[in-house]
Amino acid sequence: MPLESFDLSGKAAIVTGASSGLGRHAARSLAAAGAKVAIAARRLEPLVELEKQIEARDGRAIPLRLDVTDPASVADCVKAAETELGPISILVNNAGVAVTKAALEVEEADWDQVVGTNLKGAWLMAQAVAEHMVRLGHGGSIINTASVLGLAGAAQIPAYCASKGGLVNLTRALAVEWARHGIRVNALAPGYIETEINRDFLTSPAGESLRKRVPLRRFGTPEDLDGALLLLASEASRYITGSVIVIDGGQSAAL
Ligand code: NAD
């Protein structure tokens, strides 16, 4: 397959939760591959900084305020992205939160925040972007950021596991339904990737013992997701839909 099929020149993308961690890095990677990127999150200041970084490398980015749990905010974001960048052909559903608590301690507000952001938020974004893709008739690629915790369980993080498991199967359901519109829907399932969400834990003694159980003997970096991200975003994955790509250094393959 020619390398050009990974090229995103001229394509427009939306990345949710682009103000930090994996989302910020994904926005930079898509821009470096040629895409025009709407970088969206609740706070604008870090997005303006990211916009400057992307533009300093001759990329195009527009910062947009977005709360994925709010349908009106989702609609405004997709409309603004379309107005500024033209037809949107890539959505990276990255916004996510975690609450780490014993199952017996989890309160309804914790559950609603985690499932509302990670599952309902991804759904609202996918529906709004797919409506736009169907209306314009050009298809596209939706990439949901799930987790290995959507494929297996872990203690102390039940709402997160439920939200990511739901997101994995939502990915399959939408892939089946929207294939007729040329919309591919896939998921990334990262293992432990060092970012703001988990740095304290991964650098603690408990994190160190976890690292020894990863077959590749290290935690991931945001750059480790680039191959799968650019594959799923580009025409290189034109026959891939409903798939979940695990990026975890072999962690979930080991007993
Ligand atoms: P992070 O906390 O650095 O980034 C999460 C982003 O989501 C932030 O920009 C935050 O502002 C945004 N966000 C949260 N709620 C939002 C809302 N309501 N509306 C809009 N934006 C919102 O964490 P990260 O590690 O970069 O995680 C990114 C995604 O990757 C998450 O979905 C996370 O569950 C997933 N993930 C991370 C890892 C990991 O090890 N870091 C592993 C598997 C999956």
Q: What is the pLDDT of residue 196?
A: 81
Which atom of ligand 1 sits closest to the CA of residue 202? 40
Domain spans in the chain, listed from the N-terminal domain onward: 7-246
Please enumerate in sequence order all residues whose Cβ is within 8 A of that of 247, keeping only pairs 6 or more positions apart, or say none.
Answer: 188, 189, 190, 191, 193, 220, 224, 225, 228
Written as one string, the DSSP assignment of the chain is: --GGGG--TT-EEEEETTTSHHHHHHHHHHHHTT-EEEEEES-SHHHHHHHHHHHHTT-EEEEEE--TT-HHHHHHHHHHHHHHH-SEEEEEE---------GGG--HHHHHHHHIIIIIIHHHHHHHHHHHHHHHT--EEEEEE--GGGTS--TT-HHHHHHHHHHHHHHHHHHHHHGGGTEEEEEEEE--B-STTTHHHHTSHHHHHHHTTSTTSS-B-GGGGHHHHHHHHSGGGTT--S-EEEESTTGGG--
Q: What is the pLDDT of residue 13?
A: 99
Pocket of ligand 1 (CB under 6 A): 16-17, 19-23, 41-42, 66-69, 94-97, 117, 121, 145, 147, 190, 192-193, 195-198
Which atom of ligand 1 sits closest to the CA of residue 190? 43
Give pLDDT tens digits along the chain (255 positions): 678 889 999 999 999 999 999 999 999 999 999 999 999 999 999 999 999 999 999 999 999 999 999 999 999 999 999 999 999 999 999 999 999 999 999 999 999 999 999 999 999 999 999 999 999 999 999 999 999 999 999 999 999 999 999 999 999 999 999 999 999 999 999 999 999 878 998 999 999 999 999 999 999 999 999 999 999 999 999 999 999 999 999 999 998
- Which of 16, 19, 22, 210 to probe ligand 1 with, by most ligand atoms within 8 A of CB? 22
The domain 7-246 is placed in CATH, from the list 3.30.70.141, 2.60.34.10, 3.40.50.720, 3.40.228.10, at 3.40.50.720
- Which of 97, 118, 211 to probe ligand 1 with, by most ligand atoms within 8 A of CB? 97
Q: What is the pLDDT of residue 164?
A: 98
pTM over 0.95? The answer is: yes
Query: Nearest-CA neighbor of 213 among 179, 249, 242?
Result: 249
